[in-house]
Amino acid sequence: MIAIIDYDAGNTFNVQKALAYDAGNTFNVQKAFAYIGLDAVLTADPEVILNADGVLLPGVGAYAPAMAVLKERGLVDVIYEVVKRDIPLLGICLGMQLLFEESEEYGPTLGLGLIPGKVKEIPRNLGLSVPHMGWNKNVVHQPHSAFSNVDDQYTYFVHSYYVDTDPEYIISTANYGIDVPGVVECGRVYGMQFHPEKSGIVGLNLLRTFGNITEAYADSKK
């Protein structure tokens, strides 16, 4: 079972639906998991989260309010315990950005600090629209990753900020005047800047890959 952390993050239901796929519905993430045959539950219950085989941190919106809600609901310590227990954790869009140390959005805000790096605004002197909205091709830099199946594939991005981190954590990038990390990885902590639940069959395959990682984790506990 995959636990989707419920903290009013905007795309929560979209991810859950990507697993029963309904691309035009606000529940796409949860549905996407259902579509590919994975059990996903939306929850803020620490016991449910810590007994899951994988945890998903969604997110659409601004960095500081998202961190504030996670703290208010006691979910920051729960997420740290998830990582301590080596439970696979996937952050999507803002959820991925929250995995890093700090964001400069509306002034410095500390993040979860699970992966070294800082969230920065996409430069506005590139002659490109900000926010970055649309389909971009991914280039994989670490073919050993389970998510290397995103290589040369197009996924859907909606964001104004990107992650500046060490290349060792960057699995793929998409070029938008600068190289934007699309998939990041540090141990069993993973992030996707794009929206897999809005990225058609490519996105579903990536969620399925995460599902495979969670199933391997579940098997390791037996």
The residues annotated with a catalytic role in the active site are: 93, 195, 197
Report helix, strand or coil for 156.
Answer: strand
117 closest CA partner among 145, 146, 91: 91
Helix, strand, coil percentages for the chain (3-state, nearest 5): 35, 30, 35
Helix (H) or strand (E) holding 133: strand 132-140
Phi first, then psi, for residue 68 (nearest 5°) are -60, -45
Question: How far apart are alpha carbons 22 and 32 in whole angstroms?
Answer: 7
163 closest CA partner among 178, 150, 148: 178
Give whole-number Cα distances, 41 to 5, 37, 38, 65, 162, in Å: 9, 13, 10, 23, 28
Quick count: other Cβ atoms within 10 Å of Cβ 192?
Answer: 29
Cα dihedral 81, 220, 116, 19 sign:
negative
